[in-house]
Amino acid sequence: MSTENNSNHIFENSIKILTDLIAFKTISGEDNNALINYCDDILKKIGATSFKTFDDEKKRVNLFGTLKSKKKSTKKPIIFSGHTDVVPVSKNWTTDPFVATIKKDKIYGRGTCDMKGFIACTLAYAPIFSNTNMDRDIHFSYTFDEETACQGAPILINELQKRNINSGICIVGEPTNMKIVDAHKGCYEYTTYFEGLAGHGSKPDKGVNAVEFASRYINKLMELRETLKLNAPEDCIFDPPYTTLQIGGIKGGIARNVIADKCRVDWELRPVIKKDGDFVNKEMDEFANRKLLPEMKKVFPESVIKKEIIGEIIGFDRDVNSEACEFISNLTGDNSKEVVSFGTEAGLFQEIGISTVVCGPGSIEQAHKVDEFISLEQIKKCLSLLEGIKNNSSIN
């Protein structure tokens, strides 16, 4: 086959695979076994080995596939990292969100840009890697439930550490229009539950008002928010340049004249440094357990304050000597580096010593939206990056 025919074939194949991937309704929290098996089959057919890691019920699964190098070298392995879950859909779509639909130069469907497009590209390119005399290992990392605060990836990362896979270059293919992104804040999400004692509104001292205790908890959070601003690290690259904190919701009480026995507070924290996250958690836990709870228990010993961790996506820190960024820059000729406001799995790979970059096809502008799409141009750009990686990783 001529080179042009060959690249046409890979492109067509990537669209076919993307179409198949879109049809799996892998909304976060749902069973993603079918999609993972589909990916695993493609990888196995070309000679890759793989292992899976699961949630407790084996309902949701991560896949890690490996194409071994054909020759020993000092080159670090490449990890292609993508999440298989997508965010829910609303009724306002003009196309079926789970049927990939090509209109003009775009392909529509839930997950096209975030981030099944990237997964499709890596799977379409996998046979080429397999047929090439590669001098480094190529890994394919496909996780579950990234969109709900990275629930799947930590389970996989754990297993990687057990298997001593802790060096390499990881490309997280979240939609960046193929630009290099080398940092983002962390994103920690919590719900704190308060349970007191109901009673008649005319006798507030006889009950334990969960709403009132929750509001004191919120006030403390607001106080810490100001402290975080004052403690902002110098030369912080983020916008805004300090750790933010906000209350996303509060629910409690049933009537004006009834002491509220239950209340919940949803809140989030976006640390610019890990230390800030630890600080807020320590302060809040102390305030809840040493100040508020003893007061509640004085009236009603069964009172409860419980903080549930919804998820803690750790930040992705800028590394000025990033091997991963340099690797991509050398292949694309683009030396620019950007910071984004969304969270990814990048910090998790970085934390175990793997040099990581976020770079993938499509735009975050279309992610999580009605009529999500990826342009065919972006798919082609991603495939040409993969070709560059192949050329950089083959024995002449």
The footprint of Zn ion on residues 170-209 (CB under 5 A) is 174
CA distances from 325 to 182, 272, 335, 338 (A): 7, 20, 8, 11
288 binds Zn ion (CB under 5 A): no
66 bridge partner residues: 49, 139
Of 40, 114, 146, 147, catalytic: 146
Instruction: Give dist(CA 202, CA 179) in Å, integer.
Output: 61
Binding mask 136-175 for Zn ion (x = CB under 5 A): --------------------------------------x-
Give the interface segment with Zn ion, choosing from 110-118, 218-226, 293-301, 323-331 (CB under 5 A).
Answer: 110-118
Given 69, 82, 100, 114, the residue binding Zn ion (CB under 5 A): 114
Give the interface segment with Zn ion, choosing from 41-49, 87-95, 115-123, 221-229 (CB under 5 A).
Answer: 115-123
Q: Strand, helix or coil at 329?
A: helix
**Which residue shows structure tokens 């190529």?**
138
Judged by phi (left if over 0) then psi (alpha if -120 to 50, else beta), residue 368 lies in left
Q: Identify whether 85 is a catalytic site residue.
A: yes
Which H helix or E strand runs over 15? helix 3-23
**Which residue shows structure tokens 């993972």?**
36
Question: Strand 78-83 relative to strand 169-172: parallel, antiparallel, unpaired?
Answer: parallel
- Structure tokens of 92? 């306002």
Given 79, 115, 260, 305, the residue binding Zn ion (CB under 5 A): 115
Kindly state the smallest distance separating residue 87's Cβ from Zn ion, in Å.
8
Q: Which is nearer to Zn ion, 108 or 279 (CB)?
A: 108
Q: Which is nearer to Zn ion, 110 or 337 (CB)?
A: 110
Kindly state the smallest distance separating residue 146's Cβ from Zn ion, in Å.
6
Kindly state the smallest distance separating residue 383's Cβ from Zn ion, in Å.
19
First CA to last CA distance, the chain: 20
85 binds Zn ion (CB under 5 A): no
Q: For 290, which DSSP code? A: I
Q: Are 23 and 97 in contact (CB under 8 A)?
A: no
Give the residue nearest to Zn ion (CB): 114
Q: Which is nearer to Zn ion, 147 or 276 (CB)?
A: 147
Kindly state the smallest distance separating residue 188's Cβ from Zn ion, in Å.
18
- Structure tokens of 233? 């690290």
* Catalytic residue list: 85, 146
Residues in touch with Zn ion (CB under 5 A): 114-115, 174
